[in-house]
Chains A and B, each alone.
Chain A
Amino acid sequence: MSKIAKLKTAPPDHLEVSLFDPEMDLLLRAGIGGLATTLLWIERSIQSEQCDDDEIPASWVDQGVPWKLHSDKILLNFVDPGKVEDVFKPIFRIAFGLNERAIDLPTTYIGKQPQSVRINLQRGLMLTFLQHGKTRTGDKKDSDLNLDIDGKPYQFSTRCIDWYKHQDGYQDLVNKKSGTLSKKTAELPGTLYPGAAVRHNGFAGQTKYEGSVSQLLAAYFAPIGTLALPINRGSAVLLVPDVQDLLLFADNRRKITPLSYRDCLIGGSGDAVLQLYARLRGDDTQQKLAVASVTAFVFRPTAWASQQKSRVAADKIEPLDARRLEIFRYAKDYFAPRKASRKVTEKTGKGKLAKSTERDEFFWSDSIVRPLIADNLAHRRDWFAGFTKLFVDRDPANGKPFRDRLPFERTGLINMIKADVWDKPGQMALIGAVHHALRGRYGQIASETANQKAAMQNRFRGEYDRWRLAFSGAKTADQFRHSICDLFSRVPANKELQANWTDVLPWLDESGWQHARDLALLALASYQGKGAKELAAVAEASEAGDSLTT
């Protein structure tokens, strides 16, 4: 038998990564955007002569960079096809860094990134891309870190890291024996493509998620093209922009990154996406955005996989129209995260030598109303839709009812109601009518319990709880109508209702009663006057009682 000579083909001397390759899906296209961002950053560093000689090869400075950036593709050229690593290694080294033992992605911001932002973004990455312990080395436990913000000490918790998988990602793109570009398909594990897990672990080899070398390269740069932000310690949102133009995206990517710790605070996927759009726009609301839409993937532990953060929701959100954008701006202003403090008591020594010292610990407390408004606007609903949930649901992070935090939102709610946020007749009138009725009820209680402070507070609280339960517990239009008419009937001469009765009435029918229920509870939460002040004082006293003892 004659031997058939194996045809040797020359190793590839270039790699084209195209934004419009049919095999590139949303996340991978964002990854190509991340690669373009990195390459543009290097080009600009060379042009401005601000590059670090250790990081950027001298040949790139002298003879030009070995790639060409286009609006729809990236062309990487290999002068020596047997030494592909010479091109990839410096790019990966620059893109994926470490600063003070925290993940640092220098191409995603300009100037100096505050440490508080860096450790928060790292937490986002660790809840999405870098979940598994094998994808990083460093400390096994979180450590506390005190950072000064505006002259006040804030305590943060962070995990110190010495290495992570993306830093050595270039090795997977190279054929280890020949040093040429790998031609094999490679696995895209959850570290590179969160959510694309092995389908059947019993047949892991056959059912893993795989891609070509250009897909693998795009997946490695996904953390730069996307933005991962933690919602709390156990859940995060991965924001994946729909990249349409690589040059435009690379030029604007840095605007997506939060500048301060306060900007990192988000309450959900809608909130995260709308804040991203707001950063991208800056002050120019008419500006053409560098991304067509943003898809938010939520990651959190599930009851059946508590060790890992699984993908549990996906939401494609397009930029808002001018009207909704205006309402979101009000929400951002009135429901901004607030600085709060609590007393921390520290005990040292034992027996007679035991000493207790008390100190103030500062923290950021985020709004629970802004995320709701953002979600509603993102899904083109009325901004107050689902307000009832804030009276019924519990915070998944700590199991406490959301309604306990509503007294702190009262000022914001009052400002929001007074702002230009009402588009339909009767909505404002319904709130005014409920306010009038509550004022009447609290006034009656005050006159009945004059000079009996404790009894007055109990009656105020009982009255608040009565309407809270009546409205939030209403499951049908009839039940709600019964409750609200009961409230209205107890206080005569409701001028707001008398003047706008015809506008209010449609909200109480079968199709509108749920909106009316949300509005009635919004009115209850935003009521100011006698009774509300006493209830707010009780809530504040309750929060102060939550001081920590260590």
Chain B
Amino acid sequence: MIGLYVTVPIASFRRGAAREYWETLPLPAPSTVYGFLLSMVGEVDRERHIGARCTAGVIGHPHESTVLRKLWRIKDKKLGLGNGANVRPDYQELLTDVRLVIWLDSSEEEQPAVGTLQQRVAESLTNDGRHRITRFGGLSLGESTHMVDEVLPIERAPELADESVRLFLLDKSGNFTLPVWVDHVGSSGTRNALGRLMDANFEPPNVERLPQIKNPMMVTNK
């Protein structure tokens, strides 16, 4: 298992059902964390590291605010994106000064030729490994405009002893569901994990309590 310390100055982790008033989750969902890690190692195939387990914990309480912003949609197919009726305003909740702990475990991942996600992430944090990565765009978490400020191995994070962290962990009688696989077009392909936000320390959690990335369509096809 590998632990990361990640900071994002401004972020928003939208709830799936919030299609008007973009409400934010308190922390990124496992599917968002997985996407961030894929982007970090320059992986464009989102099915490459299925089976990996990952979760996020939020340090402290990021400040929450609401802004009015422009959103695009496709109401009129004849018009271009973001033109006329294809754009509208809406409210969006933002989190500022987001500091996260991310845990990743690849022990149940099928061994791809390129190495497991855990290996690739660990390599990307070394000077040599970073130069070997081919990727594009700035590294973001959540929306593409919400840029990541720093990513460090948890051992090299600033002093965290006095901080509290709320970690999303699996719990069969939990009260919080977060997606582990997102259907980006509709919603029928989205799959969630049931868990709970728990007060934790900065030690690695039990692997079995980390949500696992699964693609429901692949399971069905098999």
Contact = CB atoms under 8 A, between A and B. Distances in A.
Contacts of A208: 186-187
Interface stretch (A51-59, A306-314, A450-458, A537-545): A306-314
A133 interface: no
Contacts of A25: 16-17, 177, 192
B203 interface: no
Contacts of A23: 177, 191-192
A304 B88 contact: yes
A195 B186 contact: no
B17 A206 contact: no
B77 A20 contact: no
Interface in A484-540: none
A15 interface: no
Contacts of B16: 25
Interface string A199-238: 1111100111111000000000000000000000000000
A22 B193 contact: yes
A242 B186 contact: no
Contact of A20 (B21, B88, B185, B194): B194
Given A25-B177, A72-B173, A200 B91 contact: no
B77 A210 contact: no
Contact of A311 (B20, B173, B174, B185): B20
A211 B194 CA distance: 17
A312 B21 contact: yes
Contacts of A311: 18, 20-21
B17 A202 contact: no
B58 to A, nearest CB: 15
Contacts, number: 88
B17 A312 contact: no
A27 B175 CA distance: 12
Interface in A284-333: 292, 302-305, 310-314
A196 interface: yes
Interface in B66-88: 66, 73-77, 86, 88
Chain A: interface size category: 35 or more
Interface in B9-39: 16-21, 23
A474 interface: no
B53 to A, nearest CB: 15
A210 B188 contact: yes
B156 interface: no
Given A22-B194, A23-B192, A314 B23 contact: yes
A304 B89 CA distance: 7
Residue from B74, B185, B187 with most neighbouring chain A CB atoms (10 Å): B187
Interface string A49-69: 000000000000000000000
Contacts of B174: 20
Contact of A207 (B66, B172, B186): B186
Contacts of A22: 177, 191-194
A27 B90 CA distance: 22
Interface string B126-165: 0000000000000000000000000000000000000000
Nearest to B192: A22
A210 B186 contact: yes
Residue from A185, A193, A195, A208 with most neighbouring chain B CB atoms (10 Å): A195
A23 B190 CA distance: 9
A24 interface: yes
A225 B90 CA distance: 28
A195 B73 contact: no
Contacts of A72: 173
A195 B19 contact: yes
Interface in A243-282: 244
Interface in B82-117: 86, 88-91, 93
A210 B74 CA distance: 19
A252 to B, nearest CB: 17
A203 B19 contact: no
B74 A209 contact: no
A209 B192 contact: no
Contacts of A193: 17
A417 interface: no
Contacts of B77: 202-203
B193 A292 contact: no
Interface in B164-209: 172-175, 177, 185-188, 191-194
Given A22-B192, A23-B192, A311-B20, A199 B73 contact: yes
A40 interface: no
A292 B18 CA distance: 22
A195 B20 contact: yes
A161 interface: no
Residue from A22, A244, A304 with most neighbouring chain B CB atoms (10 Å): A22
Contacts of B86: 202
A193 B15 CA distance: 14
A197 B20 contact: yes
A158 B75 CA distance: 34
B20 A20 contact: no
A200 B186 contact: no
A311 B19 CA distance: 9
CB-based closest 6 A-B pairs: A202-B74, A200-B74, A22-B194, A311-B21, A22-B192, A202-B77
5 contacts: A22-B193, A25-B177, A197-B19, A203-B74, A211-B188
Given A203-B77, A209-B19, A242-B175, 15 more contacts: A20-B194, A195-B21, A196-B18, A197-B19, A202-B74, A202-B75, A202-B76, A202-B77, A202-B86, A207-B186, A210-B188, A211-B187, A244-B175, A313-B91, A314-B93
Interface of A: 20-25, 27, 29, 72, 185, 193, 195-203, 206-211, 242, 244, 292, 302-305, 310-314
Interface of B: 16-21, 23, 66, 73-77, 86, 88-91, 93, 172-175, 177, 185-188, 191-194
